[in-house]
Every structure is written in C-alpha cells, then in structure tokens.
Amino acid sequence: MALNAVHDRRKKHNVVEVVFRGIPYADFDRTGHWSTWSLLRMFEGSLLLSASLSPILTTATSKDEEYIILRQHCKISRQFYEDINIHTHFNPRIMFWCHEVGKTSLNMKVNLLSLDSDHVYATNIRKAVNFNMKTKKAVPNNTFYLEQADRINSLRPSYKWLAFPKELPTKRFTVKKRPLYSDTDYMNHVNNASYVKFCLDCCACAAQAKFYIHFEADFIYPVLDVDIQYLGESYANDDLEISTWQSTVNISDIYCIIRRKNKIIVKSFFRFALTKLDQVDYFVSRL
C-alpha cells in the first residue's frame, strides 16, 4: 500500500492518494465481481488512512469528538464490472479531497481509479458531521476547516443529493435481520457498509419471491447508484427490520428502509442495470 499527497493543478486543490496492491479475495461476491459493500468499505478505510497525511477526520478541539457519516452516494460505472473481477489484476488507486465545508459538516469526495489509468470507475460523496460522543450533538468543525471554508466552497457547486420518497408505500417486502459482531466497526456500531449488504440481501430475497417487476432470482444485477442516509445507529444482536419496494416511475430504481425498535435508522436508494452480471468462472484445482 502507498499513501501520497498530491496537488491537482487543473482542479486547483490538494488530494490524498491511496494505492492498494490488489483486492482481497473476500471482497468478491458470489458472481466473482467486487461487491458493492466491500467497495464502500475500502472507500471508508482509505479516508481513515488519509488522516495521516491530511487533517481529515481529525479534530483539534476535543478527544470526545468524531466525524460521523450521515449520508453517502456512490456512482459506479459499467466498466467497473467489465474490468474488475476475481481473475483480473487490479490495483485500486483511491483519491480523496474535501468537497464542501459547513459549520459542523464536511462533504468528502473519493474517486476510484486504477494504478495504470485515470479512468474513474466509481465516485463516492460522503457527508460527515463533527459529533460530540458524550453530548450526542453536532459541534463546530475544527479551525483548520473553518478557516478554509470559503476557499474550498468556491471551487465547486454545492452537492445535490438524491430525493427519497416522502411517503412509504403500503406494499413492501420485509425481512428481519440480527446483526452479528462481525458486522460492527471499531465504535461497536453496525458498520455503514454492512447496511448496504443487508439491503442488497433483502433485495435478493424480494426478487426470489417475485416481488419486483423484471428483476428475478438470482438477483445479480450491477449496482450503478447507491444513496444511503444514516438516521440512527444499531448494535450487534439488535432486531432489525429491512423493507424494500420498487419505483413506480423507473423499474431500475429500488428503495429500502431499515427499522430498529419501529424507528427508521437507514434510508437507501439503489439503481440497478437491467441486464444480469456474467458470473465469472472459478478455477478450482485438485489438491
């Protein structure tokens, strides 16, 4: 793994670049492609690694403060599925920079490229808030960001998030899930990427039950967009209820919500390609 600070002269901003040597075998799904939740987990890890070269995700005000992800949107290109699979040699190059600064929040942009080219395979926007873990309230950003807010915000327009339906349909497909300790992170909360995995598993169950139009089992359609809002938290052994439904406007669009104790803690949107992924043939050797 390599970690570098880079200045992008064309876009007039500093970026942090993280280069990985390959993709772990466990990150591939049952089709032999890089799973959506593992991609998001690598983006998350890249941001944490970037903290050693950039003040991102650090605060200078209190040890009780932490940047918490409130929302993220990931756009994935079709070439992501064409070029990356369990048999290809792909070295991820992940570039990060601060996209927008608010009084208590930050928008961070992360791009996935390869070590060998500048093609952007996926783009991830994450909105984080500076949160006091004791008071459970948002607090002002540290001085580093507040002093540079005008400069950073003048470089690009404010990010427009996807709209989530205001009213939930009465007809929804629902499964129950009890997260395990392996689904949690270093803060003992269920990890952000785990919720994406839960939702996609719910979608697969709905397709198996012929709940959706067009989508059917086996549910192995490429994810092109995922937008997820984190409204609450959950822990290992919590009883979660995951529900899904299909857009009445575009059959490619699928929505999910996750409830804990009858309270919605996650809202998510997925846009799928309408053609199934080709399953990669695995080579199995006899020992």
Same domain, 6 and 89: yes
Same domain, 142 and 191: no
The pLDDT score that the predictor gives to residue 119 is 95
181 within some domain: yes
Write b or e for each residue in 13-36: b if 16 or more Cβ atoms lie within 10 A of its Cβ, otherwise e: bebbbbbbeebeeebbbebbbbbb
Same domain, 168 and 131: no
Per-residue pLDDT of the chain (287 residues; tens, 9 = 90+): 566 656 454 555 578 888 999 999 999 999 999 999 999 999 998 888 776 666 555 544 567 888 889 999 999 999 999 999 999 999 999 998 888 899 999 899 999 999 999 999 999 999 999 888 888 899 998 787 788 888 888 888 888 888 899 899 999 999 999 999 999 998 899 999 999 999 999 999 999 999 999 998 889 999 999 999 999 999 999 999 999 999 999 999 999 999 999 999 999 999 999 999 987 776 554 44
Same domain, 171 and 273: yes
Q: Is the dihedral of CA 79, 83, 84, 90 positive or negative?
A: negative
Same domain, 104 and 209: no
Supply φ then ψ for residue 29, to 5 degrees. Answer: -90, -170
286 within some domain: no
Residues linked to residue 185 through DSSP beta bridges, in sequence order: none
CATH number for 251: 3.10.129.10
287 within some domain: no
The pLDDT score that the predictor gives to residue 3 is 61
Same domain, 7 and 147: yes
Beta strands 253-260 and 13-19, pairing class? unpaired
Q: Is 52 exposed, middle or buried (0-12, 13-18, 19+ CB in 10 A)?
A: exposed
253 within some domain: yes
150 within some domain: yes
- The boundaries of the domain holding residue 251 are 164-280
Same domain, 83 and 217: no
Q: Choose one of 161, 196, 211: the last residue of a domain.
A: 161
Residues linked to residue 20 through DSSP beta bridges, in sequence order: none
96 within some domain: yes
The pLDDT score that the predictor gives to residue 160 is 86
The pLDDT score that the predictor gives to residue 280 is 79
285 within some domain: no
Q: Choose one of 136, 161, 186: the last residue of a domain.
A: 161
Same domain, 17 and 134: yes
3-state secondary structure of 57: coil
Same domain, 13 and 148: yes
Q: How many domains does the chain have?
A: 2
Residues linked to residue 75 through DSSP beta bridges, in sequence order: 123, 225
Q: How many Cα atoms sit within 13 Å of 126 on the Cβ side?
A: 25
Same domain, 1 and 142: yes
Token digits for 220? 């192995």
Q: How far apart are CA 88 and CA 79, in angstroms?
A: 13
Q: How far apart are CA 178 and CA 142, in angstroms?
A: 37
Q: How far apart are CA 133 and CA 108, in angstroms?
A: 21
Q: How far apart are CA 255 and CA 268, in angstroms?
A: 6
Same domain, 92 and 81: yes
The pLDDT score that the predictor gives to residue 267 is 98
117 within some domain: yes
Which of 240, 237, 138 lies closest to 188, judged by CA?
237
Q: Choose one of 145, 161, 177: the last residue of a domain.
A: 161
Same domain, 126 and 197: no
The pLDDT score that the predictor gives to residue 176 is 98
CB 40 within 8 A of CB 192: yes
CA-based radius of gyration for the chain: 19
